[in-house]
Structure formats: structure tokens, C-alpha cells
Amino acid sequence: MSRVLVTGGAGFLGSHLSDKLLNDGHDVLVADNFFTGSKENDQHLSQNSRFKIMRHDVTFPLYVEVDQIYNLACPASPIHYQRDPVQTTKTSVHGAINMLGLAKRVGAKILQASTSEVYGDPEVHPQPESYWGRVNPSGIRSCYDEGKRCAETLFFDYRRQHNLRIKVVRIFNTYGPRMHPNDGRVVSNFIVQALRGKNISIYGDGSQTRSFCYVDDLIAAMTSAMDTSDGFTGPVNIGNPSEFTMLELAEMVLRLTQSKSAITFSPLPQDDPKQRKPDITLAQNSLNWQPKVGLEDGLRETISYFKSKLL
Ligand SMILES: NC(=O)c1ccc[n+]([C@@H]2O[C@H](COP(=O)([O-])OP(=O)(O)OC[C@H]3O[C@@H](n4cnc5c(N)ncnc54)[C@H](O)[C@@H]3O)[C@@H](O)[C@H]2O)c1
């Protein structure tokens, strides 16, 4: 069993990852500055003697003894990462340098939570890992997209230069319980609006598509990626390739919440990609993984979480 550091472990994905790692018998240390995460997400773990949480900002070096590092620290939703864009880039870039430095010092294996945003507004559909992306380097999303791209560069340079054991996973839209209710991500937005009886606001005409992965599927793939042999580095896409239009998603949420909310349309935000869908062939072959939870089942779990929080 290993001592595992999870940066960003008080956030949505990090808290589920901590659950899984503890269940698998590991010791877990969470380092988080609580920018978007909260202690409440890990509250149920507070009595577990194998779990520890510390306030730490990854833009500063960290000195701890661990065997594995999952580097998740970074606000993931546009509302949050655009609030302090300079800090967002610092979190990705300085955070990667600090965590890679730590991995090098203690000989730990390290996994980077990268993102489908490295593909930008893609001309290739679905996106395989070999596609280099189409990213605006100076727009309002660039602090996140380019920060994550630079972090990937650093991971691969630490591999080439220092022979570090690295894994890079590119996460596509993931949803589930413990998402932040006000972070503007489409699934949480629609559910919260429906449960509150407010209009469901679709950007654009609702024909743009997204694919949505349920959190349990994502976490299973992440830990499988960490457990691959040292020769496997990724980058590897993780996501659910089933595509839905925003209009289909809104209608499904209305049906499952039995909400009377109306659907409204407003202009698309700047640089919003029109389509995003992972090619998961590599994950299927190298991680022996495939998403199992369909959108409707995953939405039911997520809706019941938000009901318990909001009502
Ligand atoms: N959820 C998704 O659909 C998705 C998609 C692609 C990539 N990702 C990546 O996965 C990771 C986790 O995303 P999430 O959805 O759980 O987001 P989240 O905002 O819920 O979690 C991010 C966590 O990082 C912490 N954090 C932010 N800046 C920090 C810093 N400087 N130092 C220490 N901690 C810091 C936050 O407080 C929070 O707990 C992120 O790196 C994100 O880019 C998520």
C-alpha cells in the first residue's frame, strides 16, 4: 500500500479520488488551498486515521514523503478559473513544477489531471491523443488551456530529462455529486436551475454537443492509469464518448427533476467549443477501461445529491 498525495483533494474529483484510494487501502494526504474546494467534501473522511488534509497552495514547494502524487489542484470551471487568471496559470505551471520537483526528490510516481481543453476548439472529431489542438493563446480561456498545455510539456520534459515516472490523463467533461452548485458548469447549472424552478439557460441554439462522464467511471480510469507499467505515460483521454446536444441534456434534466422550468437561449460565450468528444481507443486498450454509467443513471445520482443540498 502507498502513501498518496492528492493535490486539489478537497474539490469535486479529488474528494472522490480520495474515497477510492482509501477504499483500496492507501494512505491519503490532501493538499488544497480551498479556492474552489471545501473541507465539507472530505468531511466524511475526517475520522479515518489513514486520511489527512492540509491547507497548501501548490504554487509553493511542498516537502512531504509520498510514493504517488495525483496533481489535480486547479479550478476547473470557467467562472472560477477566469476570476484570477494569473493565479490559474501559476497554479498549473508553478504547481506542476513544484509537484514534479517533489516527485523527483522522493522518487514518487506522478499523475497530471490534464484536460480536453488542450484540444481547444477542435477541427478533428472525435479527438484522439495524437491531435495537437486548436487553442487561442490570448483569449479569456487561455489561462486554463495554455496553463494545462504547459503543465503537460513540463511532465514530458521531466520524463525525458530526469526519467520521472509520469502519467498524463486528459479528462473530458465529468459530472456527479459534490460538483460546486454555482460554478456554471452545464450539468450542475441545469440541475440547480431546474430544482429551483428557474429558467434553464442554454448558450447558443442548443445544438452544440458535449459528452459527459460520470465521476465513478472517471476515477476508475485515473487509478488504472496510475497503476500502468512505467513505460506507459499517456497522454490518454478519459471520458464518455456518448454525445448529447445541450437541448437534449436540458430536456433530460427537466424530465428527471419533474421541473416546470422553461428553457431560454442566450449568446454563446467567447471561444466556446462547438463540439467535444473523446476518442477513448487508447484508454480501452491500455487501461482495459470503458465507461459504464449512462447519462440518465448518472444524472439521477447527481440530482439526488443536489436535492439534499438545496432543498
Ligand atoms: N471536472 C471536470 O470535468 C474536469 C475536466 C477536465 C479536467 N479537470 C481537471 O481535474 C482537476 C479537478 O477538477 P474538479 O472538477 O475537481 O475541480 P474543483 O474546482 O472542484 O477542484 C479543484 C481543487 O483544486 C484546488 N486548488 C485550486 N488552486 C489551488 C492551488 N493553487 N493550490 C492548491 N489547491 C488548489 C481547489 O480548492 C479545489 O479543491 C482540475 O485540475 C481540472 O482542471 C476536470
* Tens-place pLDDT, residues 210-231: 899 999 999 999 999 999 999 9
59 lines ligand 1 (CB under 6 A): yes
Lowest mean pLDDT among 19-33, 41-55, 184-198, 259-273: 259-273
Measured between alpha carbons, how far is 236 from 220 in angstroms, rounded to an integer?
14
| Contact in structure between 77 and 183 (CB atoms under 8 Å) | yes
Residue 307 Rama label (left phi>0; alpha psi -120 to 50; beta): alpha
Instruction: List the residue whose alpha carbon is closest to atom 25 of ligand 1.
Output: 8
Interval 241-264: pLDDT, tens: 999 999 999 999 999 999 999 999
- How many distinct helices (H) and strands (E) make up the chain? 9, 13
295 lines ligand 1 (CB under 6 A): no
Would you call 144 a catalytic residue per the annotation? yes
> Which protein residue has the closest C-alpha to ligand 1 atom 9?
113
Kindly give the distance from the C-alpha atom of residue 81 to the centroid of ligand 1, in angstroms, as a whole number. 9
Position 215 scores a pLDDT of 98
To the question of pTM greater than 0.85 for the whole model, the response is yes
Q: Where would I find the beta strands (DSSP E) of 156-262? A: 166-171, 174-175, 200-203, 209-211, 213-214, 236-238, 243-245
Give yes or no for a contact between 215 and 176, defined as CB atoms under 8 angstroms apart.
yes
C-alpha cell at 117: 481543453
Question: pLDDT tens digits for 119-153?
Answer: 998 899 999 999 999 999 999 999 999 999 999 99
**How much is the pLDDT for 169?**
98
